[in-house]
Amino acid sequence: MDPTTGPLLGFYDYDLLVIGGGSGGLAAAKVAAGLRKKVLILDLMAPSARGIKRGLGGSSFNADSIRKYLQQTSLLGIAINDSQMYGWKFKEEVSHGWSDLVQAVQEQVKSSTVELKRELKSCGVIYLNAWGVIVGPHTVEVTETNGRKRCLTAETLLIATGDRPQYLGIPGDKEYCLTSEDLPSLHHPPGRTLVVGGSAEGLEWAGFLFGLGMSVTVMLQPDLLPGFDCKMAEKIENHMIVGGVNFLYHCSLTKVKQTEDVISAPPQHLSKGRLQVTVMYKDGQTKHEDFDTVLLTVGRKACTSDIGLECVGVQCSQDTGRILVNERDQTNIDYIYAVGSVQHGHPATTGLSVHAGRLLARRLYGGESILFFYSQCDYTNVPTVMLTPLEYAACGLTEEKANLTFGENSIEVYHSFYWPMEWTLPSRHKNSCYVKVICHIPEQERVVGLHIMGPNAGDVLQGFVTAMKCGLTKQQLDATVGIHPGSAQVLTSLNQTRRMTDALMLRGNC
């Protein structure tokens, strides 16, 4: 077979070949196999710059699991302090063991990978720990770990290679800085840490480490939570500042170098050494400061540059490297699809990737009788959660986007602070938790954005996401019986609007 012309007479080795082990690709593969299709997954990603390998499930699946474990670790520390007000006494001083946490997390990630492989096998999906590169129409060159190469063909190709953390391209970044892929494998406590980047990932890690007793500084390079609701971002930032996290503004990291000898350790332990960073401010002044760890959270880059997309002419964004797709997750090459964080212009969450992958497989292989029930994935009103010290969850439009889309006069914003009952005895942060409901007035105040900042915000939001897909209105929220005692009931009794608050502030300043 000539790989430049593709298979003859429509005979293929596989019905579906998935390049990459991302969560969306796995979901599509399992559904397709369940519909009696022959499916192959190729998943062999290069390790990080520090030699850390990525497990099956892609960046989102593994990172999300680790995020949740670390958040719980941090919250348990807070709960220990609160417990004294509830009458608990400790005979010994309580301390945290970083190496114990790392070992437990890594073992759980390995266990999840084993379970995923077992699920794939039970579904009939063929899995190869091999590298796949498109070399012609419907044709992929497979390179196994032993170096063996062969060409395989498939009627449909699905790209699910995910993304990876970016570096800054400054002296010392790859040699001495860590990313979110590296830090969970660090076998010694990070110590005094500089988190570079004001992304959700950066603020989450800053919160995790600070909750474990580390000294943490966040350098907003360039902005705070780009793409998120600005007022919610400010509240998260303020909560972290009040808690003790340091922030650096209007500056950038220009150099990282080592100032102390490295402690000899195997690559997987990640060497320990004191680091000196050079910070440049907008006015041109520079400053040097020492840290134990520098964590880069300055964005993620799609893994699309070395899988042969250019060989068949798949179009990608020049700015992001992510793949351009239509409303059916299809590229400009009709037999090639993409799901997950490799897509350009769509949100990137694990839940969305899994949902999109399942729908794609059902559209491709489900038959005409069920196509009506499995239309293309709806990329609007995608819920998201940020596991910052005070959890933040949102669905729908930000306040800024709603005003831009509908006009300020057509938008009503209902909001309120609240105090979780479990926080009252320890007298913790009375005016930190906050909710905001954004309504479109001409549509009977239909809810177009819902934002929650407080404990278990993601779990609280989940049910309201379904309601929003059904056209939830403010009147329906008001008619809902709240559960007492519970934090979610605050959403059923909102009567303060942004306009009322602004008017009171103006009157108070007169």
Residue 384 in domain: no
Same domain, 358 and 322: yes
Residue 195 shares a structural domain with residue 330: no
- Both 121 and 262 in a single domain? no
pLDDT tens for residues 172-200?
999 999 999 999 989 899 999 999 999 99
User: pLDDT, tens digit, for every residue of 26-68?
Assistant: 999 999 999 999 999 999 766 676 667 666 766 666 788 899 9
β-pair type (392-396, 446-453)? antiparallel
Instruction: Please check whether residues 179 and 328 belong to one and the same domain.
Output: no
87 and 22 share a domain? yes
Nearest in space to 176 (alpha carbons), one of 47, 52, 99, 274: 274
- Domain assignment present for 382: no
- 270 has pLDDT over 60: no
Percent of the chain at pLDDT > 70 equals 90
State whether 139 and 19 are in the same domain. Answer: yes
pLDDT tens-place string over residues 436-480: 999 999 999 999 999 999 999 999 999 999 999 999 999 999 999
101-138 tens-digit pLDDT: 999 999 998 898 899 999 999 999 999 999 999 999 99
pLDDT value of residue 368: 59
Q: What average pLDDT score do residues 162-168 get?
A: 92
Task: List pLDDT tens digits, range 59-94.
Answer: 666 788 899 999 999 999 999 999 999 999 988 888
Instruction: Please measure the distance between the N-terminal and C-terminal CA atoms of the chain and give it in whole angstroms.
Output: 82
Query: Would you name the residues annotated as active-site residues?
Result: 484
Mean pLDDT value of segment 147-175? 95
Say if residue 22 is in the same domain as residue 143: yes
- Statement to judge: residues 70 and 156 lie in one domain: yes
Asked if the structure places residue 450 within a domain, the reply is yes
Indicate the average pLDDT of the chain.
Answer: 90
CATH number of the domain bearing residue 280: 3.50.50.60
Let me know whether 226 and 266 are in one domain.
Answer: yes
Round to whole Å and give the CA distance between 60 and 202.
15
Q: Which domain holds residue 138?
A: 14-165+301-371
Instruction: Please give the structure tokens belonging to residue 301.
Output: 């880059």
User: What are the residues whose beta carbons fall under 8 Å from the beta carbon of 164, sequence distance 6 or more?
Assistant: 48, 54, 59, 179, 181, 300, 301, 303
Residue 381 lies in a domain: no
In a domain, 4, yes or no: no
Number of structural domains in the chain? 3
pLDDT, tens digit, 9 for 90 and up, residues 316-332: 999 889 999 999 999 99
Whether the predicted pLDDT of 348 surpasses 90: no
Identify the helix (H) or strand (E) that includes residue 32. Answer: helix 23-34
Note whether residue 417 is domain-resident.
yes
Q: What is the pLDDT of residue 63?
A: 83
Residues 6+ apart with CB under 8 A from 379: 346, 347, 352
Q: Which pLDDT value is given to residue 376?
A: 81
146 and 193 together in one domain: no
Inter-CA distances, 58 with 27, 63, 112, 204, 339, Å: 12, 8, 12, 19, 12
> Torsion-angle region of residue 112: left (phi > 0), alpha (psi -120 to 50) or beta?
alpha
User: Does the residue 9 lie in any domain?
Assistant: no
Q: In the prediction, which pLDDT does 260 show? A: 67
Q: Is a pLDDT exceeding 90 seen at residue 509?
A: no
Q: Output the domain CATH number for residue 470.
A: 3.30.390.30
* Residue range 234-251, pLDDT digits in tens: 999 999 999 999 999 999
Mark whether 160 and 19 lie in a shared domain: yes
Per-residue confidence band for 364, with pLDDT thresholds at 50, 70 and 90? very high
User: Are residue 253 and residue 184 in the same domain, yes or no?
Assistant: yes
Which percentage of the chain shows pLDDT scores above 90?
A: 77
